[in-house]
Structure 1
Amino acid sequence: MWLQSVLVPLLRLYLCGMKVLLYQLLHSSFTLPVLPRQNGRVAIVTGGTRGMGYETARHLAGLGMHVVIAGNEREEGGAAVRRIQEEDVEGRVEFVFLDLTSMKSVQQFAQTFKDRGLPLHVLVNNAGTMMVPESQTEDGFEFHFALNYLGHFLLTNLLLDLLKRSGRPGCCSRIINMSSATHYAGVVNMEDLNRRVCYSSHGAYSQSKLALVLFTNYLQEQLTAGGFPVTVAAVDPGMVDTALYDNLWSLAQALKKPVAKILFRTPAEGASISIYAAAASEMEGVGGCYLYNGQKTQSSDSSYDPELQAQLWKKSCELVGVRG
């Protein structure tokens, strides 16, 4: 049991990491094209106080968007807003508290936003955590599963009607889900989504990232079938030098520092994929895709499994208390 549940996910995840680093050694990072102005459009960016989320929020505000940075660090959020405002961006930027590990907080955030009467054109589900020690949220969910996936699943569903109303043919609303190459190593265990039988932080993390891709593909199918002007894309930023890696083992942390300087992307480079998905003309009407280095790429075989997509959707609805 330990070999299958702990060692195998660890080896798969680090193998994925090595493949990504090799790719980044041989290929330059994606360069954003000139993007159209986004005046009058409204975006929410989760985890936008630092790292890739901050760079995404900053760039979208620079294009003229009204950007709501959603995060659970009020002081850090205020500082992020001030830094962006100091750049004299054309758009508006603000911080609103959101704790994605608390389903109550997600519900409160969504209701407060809807009560303001604003449209919503872009939702960037960026916030995440990686390889934290085993812990449960206040709702009893495994931490990676709750923060990386389930909180975003609930947030998206609560704001979906607003996204549908805000989009129109030829100018769709857009949902961007932040996944990673680790989803290729992921296994969604429908019998133990909270990883209580035999915990592995590596397995829990990769499961949460695969869940986001499954969610992306299933939701796009439903939106397309209903004729709604909303697209959903999963993005893979590559290996980026952010605080996500703070939870690595001591040895891995020591090895990561010199490697990161040479091979890792900067937060701005990693954010370029989310920004492209959120604002590029080339992405108008394009959904149900997995973007890596600015290109549509095949995600894992399991991410296209319609039965697994439907099972995860149904179970997720039950867990967060929304209608399927």
Structure 2
Amino acid sequence: MWSWSDLGSVLGPLLRLYMCGIKVLLYQAFNRSFTLPALPRQSGRVAIVTGGTRGMGFETARRLAHLGMHVIIAGNEPEEGAAAVRTIRQEDAEGRVEFVFLDLTSLKSVRHFVQVFKARGLPLHVLVNNAGTMLVPELQTEDGFEFHFCLNYLGHFLLTNLLLDDLQRSGRPGRCSRVVNMSSATHYAGVIHMDDLNRRACYSSHGAYAQSKLALVLFTYQLQERLSAGGFSVTASAVDPGMVDTALYDNLWSLAQALKRPVAKVLFRTPAEGASVSIFAAAASEMEGVGGVYLYNGQKTQSARLSYDSELQAQLWTKSCQLCGLQQA
């Protein structure tokens, strides 16, 4: 039997998330999408883009390849990956592009991907943690984690930590390596349940999604603090693409889907427009040496007040290391 408390636990996140969405749409109705500045060539640099087979991830991978980067598209759909690589190659991109399998809902797959990458002896200059999912029904991964939490956050936390030594070796003063984490405005509605990160007490897909995006911002700030303390030439930024017309919205209720379609045509950003902020964070001269920031529409923006809680950042880092089986630095 559900209680009034349970109902509030479900409706509260839902209402907060949709209020965030309304605010973003109002902003987008009266403000043009961010236009990328001229970007420097990226020849000789290597990037990994998760979820790069379609949507904003594909647009990010495509643009970085056209700047001359060697781009590794990491995803769990080999056919989509092959098609994405084929499309970018046909455009005569200056850089190299390839697809490598990665399932972020499996910690074993994350570790295998990193082993394969390291065996090649490549440097790593840019890691774009773009892959994500939204509003899926309650699901657990093979490791027993809530689906949003693992795919959007924990898999990327493990991936980044396992690749940190490569990023650190590849960066240098005046030419830092960069980590770009794809968050969203929904993080403002997020709450971190440190004693129930898998949200088993009372599940809400809206609450789970918002929590995963807040976790990414907390992770970004804690990562930058650790990198700066170690004197490493690596920066970490969180980016917010706004509301973008991608497959992320496929899990909306039927009524919401019907309402979304006409609104999306007028007010949503295109995948290319949404990707501009991650491309900016990954390659722009203006972002050289700049980390620990939240970028929205090309501007440094205040993230949620909770995201600046240094104690919560450290707690989430420690808990994430335990969940992933990582030794604390």
Query: TM-score over 0.5 for the alignment?
Result: yes
Matched, 1:279 2:283: yes
- Which residue in the other structure is 2:294 paired with? 290
Q: Which ranges of 4 or more aligned residues in structure 1 deviate by more than 2 Å?
A: none
Work out whether 1:270 is the aligned partner of 2:274.
yes
Please give the secondary structure, in 1, of the residue aligned with 2:202.
coil
Corresponding residue for residue 59 of structure 2: 55
The one-letter code sitting in structure 1 at the alignment partner of 2:327 is: R
Residue 174 (structure 1) aligns with? 178
Looking at structure 2, the residues matched to 217 and 288 of structure 1 have their Cα atoms a distance apart, in angstroms, of 5
TM-score, normalised to structure 1's length?
Answer: 1.00
Q: CA deviation at 1:2?
A: 1.7
Hey, what's the Cα distance between the residues in 2 that align with 1:111 and 1:237? 31
The residue number in structure 2 matching 1:73 is 77
CA distance in 1, matches of 2:131, 2:102: 10
Report the alpha carbon displacement of residue 184 of structure 1 after superposing the two structures with TM: 0.1
| Residue from 103, 128, 133 that aligns with 2:137 | 133
1:243 aligns with 2:247: yes
Which AA in structure 1 matches 2:249?
Y
Secondary structure of residue in 1 paired with 2:236: strand
Runs of 5+ in structure 2 lacking a partner? none
Cα distance in 2 for partners of 1:172, 1:114 equals 20
CA RMSD of aligned residues (A): 0.4
The offset of 1:4, in angstroms, is: 3.0
3-state SS of the aligned residue for 2:235?
A: strand
Match of 1:2 in 2: 6
- Structure 2 distance, partners of 1:246, 1:229, is 39
Q: For 1:12-67, what per-residue CA distance to the aligned partner results, in whole angstroms no more than 9, with x for missing partners?
A: 00000000000000000000001000000000000000000000000000000000
Tell me if 1:103 matches 2:107.
yes
How far, CA to CA, are the matches of 2:318 and 2:162 in structure 1? Answer: 15
Q: How far off is 1:5 after superposition?
A: 1.4
AA partner of residue 77 (structure 1): G
1:20-169 map, 5 Å: 20-169=24-173
Hey, what's the Cα distance between the residues in 2 that align with 1:114 and 1:287?
25
2:321 & 2:183 partners in 1: Cα distance?
Answer: 20
Letter paired with 2:102? L
> Which whole-Å CA distance do the structure 2 matches of 1:241 and 1:44 have between them?
23
* Residue identity matched to 2:17: L
User: Could you tell me how far 1:323 is from its partner in structure 2?
Assistant: 1.3
Identity of aligned pairs, percent? Answer: 81
Output the TM-score relative to the length of structure 2.
0.98
The separation in 2 between residues aligned to 1:319 and 1:182, in whole angstroms, is: 24
Match of 2:18 among 14, 17, 27: 14
Aligned counterpart in structure 1 of residue 197 of structure 2, from 193, 208, 217 = 193
Query: Equivalent residues in 2 for 1:223-238 (5 A)?
Result: 223-238=227-242
Distance in structure 2 (CA, Å) of the matches to 1:33 and 1:180: 22
State the 1:3 CA deviation. 3.1
